[in-house]
Structure 1
Amino acid sequence: MENYAGFWLRVVAYIIDAIIVGIVGFVIGMIFGVGAVSTGTDISDPTGGGNAVLQMISIAIGVAYFAGMESSSWQATVGKKALGLVVTDLNGQRISLGRAIGRYFGKILSALILLIGFIMVAFTERKQGLHDMIAGTLVLKGQPGMVATDPNVFN
């Protein structure tokens, strides 16, 4: 299906987002005098450096950025927006903040199982990762609000 965002397109969007979130984490870390704060984008260190406070800050940054942006009127993070992608529910509608938070925590699960949850995007019919399946979401090529009204999206 041409309207589903494929694996490599989503990887590029994620790289853009990881850079943005990494900068935010670094700035917040410097403010608190702890160096860089992991923001949940560093798969090699999902614990935020082992410190419980840093872990909570890392999760808060990740949820605020990813869930906040994907449930906003943009329906996308900056990386997805730059590539013309939107996150929708299975009917092409904007997702709620609760669903976006579930999707965020689903990404952590996707990473913990040797990234298989992300790799699934390359092999599933609707280009869904495990986190998309858990949350009932799709990542589509399109603009916010226009995806659900396009009759060609789900054909």
Structure 2
Amino acid sequence: MNEMSEMTVGAGATPQPDVQYVGFWARVLASFVDTFVSLFVLVPLALLLRTVGIGIANGDPYASTITQLLLALIVIAFWMARMATPGKMVIDAVIVDARSFGKPSLRQFVVRYLGYFVSTIALFLGLLWVAFDARKQGWHDKLADTVVIRRPPNLPQGLS
């Protein structure tokens, strides 16, 4: 794998050939971290909903819908603010536009999130695709026109 050269990520960035795409196993690790972190948000939320009479265990569709929408908002907010979820931050990766290597648009992030459903519904084939694709793109990345790369050295962790 190639190391990153002087690549600029952000508005008006130009693509560089020396990007390091993040592979399957690193992204699996990132998803485990994200799952663990999301439990710290979702479990208290489920307890709060239960105190007001909305309970997931009771099969209440509102609780499930509220939880899914909140999770989507949290993930997309992280992507917009940091171009990464906590798991991707742990592995020093960012999500960028596949053409410009700049910050993806809100539309791309929403399509990417919805693309996870497409990627998983077909026996997770869309997620496994990362292992075989030259640019390490899952179907969700292809749908959103994004790639996951190692964070460029000139992009500070907190600023994206």
Which bin holds the TM-score, normalised by the shorter protein?
0.7 to 0.9
Q: Measured at CA, do residues 18 and 32 of structure 1 come closer, stay the same or move farther in structure 2, by a change above 3 Å?
A: same
Gaps of 5+ in 1: 38-48, 147-155
Write the deviation string for residues 70-104 of structure 1: whole angstroms up to 9, x where unpaired: 122x1101110111000001121111222111101
Output the amino acid matched with 1:26: V
Q: How many residues align?
A: 134
1:140 pairs with 2:149: yes
What value does the CA root-mean-square deviation take over the aligned residues? 2.1
Q: 1:130 to 1:57 in 2, by over 3 A?
A: same
Identity across the alignment (%): 30
Task: Tell me what 1:103 maps to.
Answer: 112
CA distance in 1 between partners of 2:74 and 2:153 (Å): 17
**1:27-76 deviation line (CA, Å, top 9, x unaligned):** 10000115669xxxxxxxxxxx854212321221221122111122x110
CA distance in 2, matches of 1:28, 1:144: 37
Determine if contact 1:68/1:100 at 8 Å carries over to the other structure. Answer: no
- Greater relative CO (CA pairs within 8 A, separation 6+): 2
The one-letter code of the counterpart of 1:81 is M
| 1-structure distance, mates of 2:123, 2:90 | 28
Alpha-carbon distance between aligned partners in 2 of 1:50 and 1:136, rounded to the nearest angstrom: 36
> Paired residue for 1:25?
42
TM-score (norm 1): 0.78
Residue identity matched to 2:92: G
Which protein shows a greater Rg?
2
CA displacement at 1:145 relative to structure 2:
6.7
Decide which moves more: 63-72 or 85-94. 63-72
